[in-house]
Structure 1
Amino acid sequence: MNIRRAHEKDIPRLIELLEQVLQIHADIRPDIFIPGTTKYTNEELAEMIKDDTKPIYVAADDDDICMGYAFCQIRQQPFSNNMVPFTSLFIDDLCVDAKTRGQHIGEQLFEYVKNEAKHLGCYEVTLNVWSGNTSAEKFYEKMGLKTKERQMEYILM
């Protein structure tokens, strides 16, 4: 397996994997997510691939087929004046193809992202997990992540 930055040729495969992630979220929150859609379009992915502040890392097999990805964003913190300034690498989305889960691809991808964050001078790696996505929560806890903050909601409908 080779972990590298995404290329434009990866876009069709990224779309397939984005569909898998969307379905997980739609199963958890059908009131918010629309099945059969994706978070990004082909055009948006093409722009993101060129943007060094939004690196997309892919785990490719020996045939250079993308088996998983990590969409990342470099963010400057803080959100307010009462915090020390620092750089954070936010994982916007991480996915491993359902057919290849359990082969430690996600672990290798996450370790790669952590090393990239160190190389970029980041203080931390952060991400969000939807409540109800217990397999993702368990995976990230296994990788050493701890809850930083919780966002709560009250649905009015």
Structure 2
Amino acid sequence: MKNDEIIIRKAVEADSAKVWLLMRDLAIFEKYIDVFAITPEIVKVSGFRKSPPDFYCFVAEDKDEIAGMLVYYFLPYTAQNRPGIYMKELYVDQKYRGQKIGKQLMDVLKKEAKVNNCGQIKWTVAPWNEAGKRFYERLGAKENNEWINYEWNVKN
């Protein structure tokens, strides 16, 4: 069932608590809730009170409810001498899935990339997330097997 009431827009500070709830739900879904350290206040300060913000966010709004979110940040310097975008989080509330909200959020991100002269949008997908991989492939995204991701955890 298609919901014609969905509006995709940039998140504002008043959305912080609702965006945080979706971030928490994503952490549960992707199985990293045990290390999830984000709070609604961190979302508010990092995303809306800092200049420039640590991240940017689009939300899918259904009346007064946030149905989905897409969190991203800019990569200002790349080998192509053009900025890029790194999509950190894409999540649609379970009760809103199947309504093309994820595609709408990705389409808005693609427009944002073009407006900002970005050469690429990059992101990672958990290897077990088959539905996510199929979704991105339907959009025309290609898996990049040329690089292996590494992490170096730094403890204080």
Matched with 1:151 is 148
Matched with 2:154 is none
Structure 2's unaligned 5+ residue stretches are 1-5, 151-156
TM norm structure 1: 0.80
Distance 1:104 1:115 in 2: 17
Which amino acid in structure 2 is aligned with residue 151 of structure 1?
A: I
Deviations 1:18-51 (A, max 9, x none): 122111211xxxxxx234x645222221121344
Matched with 2:21 is 16
The 4+ residue runs of structure 1 with deviation greater than 6 A are none
Asked whether the 8 Å contact 2:80–2:119 carries over to 1, the reply is: no
Aligned CA-pair RMSD? 2.0
Q: How big is the shift at 1:52?
A: 5.2
Counterparts of residues 134-149 of structure 1 (less than 5 Å): 134-148=130-144, 149=146
Distance 2:54 2:33 in 1: 28
Distance 2:53 2:116 in 1: 11
Counterparts of residues 36-55 of structure 1 (less than 5 Å): 38=36, 40-46=38-44, 47-50=46-49, 51=52, 54-55=55-56
Q: How many positions carry a matched residue from both structures?
A: 141
Deviations 1:125-147 (A, max 9, x none): 11111111111111111111112
TM norm structure 2: 0.80
Distance 1:56 1:65 in 2: 15
Q: How big is the shift at 1:53?
A: 6.3
Which secondary structure state, in structure 2, belongs to the residue aligned with residue 69 of structure 1? strand
Q: 1:66 to 1:23 in 2, by over 3 A?
A: same
Which secondary structure state, in structure 2, belongs to the residue aligned with residue 67 of structure 1? strand
Asked whether the 8 Å contact 1:69–1:96 carries over to 2, the reply is: yes
Asked whether the 8 Å contact 1:77–1:87 carries over to 2, the reply is: yes
